[in-house]
Amino acid sequence: MTVTEQEPGELTVEAVLRQLPLTPRTLRYYEEVGLIAPSSRTSGGHRLYDQKTVERLQQILRLKENLGVSLQEIREILDAEQALDALRQSFHQNRQDHERQLEYTDRYIEVLRQLIEKMDEKIESVTAMRDRYQERLQKSLYFRENGFRKNETEGE
């Protein structure tokens, strides 16, 4: 029983790729542009990730796939999120940090609002599109059964 992981639940590159449709290169590229970072390394320099990073990657993939936002934009979103998170982790609670907390929270809230708005717009336009294509499909199915008249203007 040779346990590979050093810390409980640290994942090798391979282990991450088993969970997500990525390549090693993509993982390294995302690190290069500041989207993720390995939680640690082996003594030999191999990257190790934690489960939080996997979730982060899932979020990245969803943002890409569903909203088509660039990695740059994704980074801004995740940064706002992380800045707030980091601040919450730190225990400093003097007035200074309270100010900063409000600032970061507001920034994050704004990011969230815009994202949600974007999603709502997308849902709406895709739905409208779906309806149009659904109608086309119905017509084609009808056409397939009944053949078509020369002039489609004639009702029957």
Binding site for a copy of itself (CB under 8 A): 62, 65-68, 88, 91, 102, 105-106, 108-109, 112-113, 115-116, 119-120, 122-123, 125-127, 129-130, 133-134, 136-137, 140-141, 143-144, 148, 150
CB of 116 to DNA, least distance (A): 21
The pair of structure tokens assigned to 16 is 């991450």
Q: Backbone phi, then psi, for 118, in 5-degree steps?
A: -60, -40
Whole-number Å distance between alpha carbons of 86 and 94: 16
Q: Does 39 bind DNA (CB under 7 A)?
A: no
Whole-number Å distance between alpha carbons of 78 and 60: 9
**Helical ranges in 8-94 per DSSP H:** 13-19, 24-32, 51-62, 71-89
The size of the interface with DNA (CB under 7 A), counted in residues, is 25
| Strand, helix or coil for residue 11 | strand
CB of 43 to DNA, least distance (A): 5
Q: Choose which of 72, 127, 134, 138 interacts with DNA (CB under 7 A).
A: 72
Which residues sit at the interface with DNA, rule CB under 7 A? 2, 4, 12-15, 17, 23-26, 28-29, 33, 38, 42-47, 64, 70-72
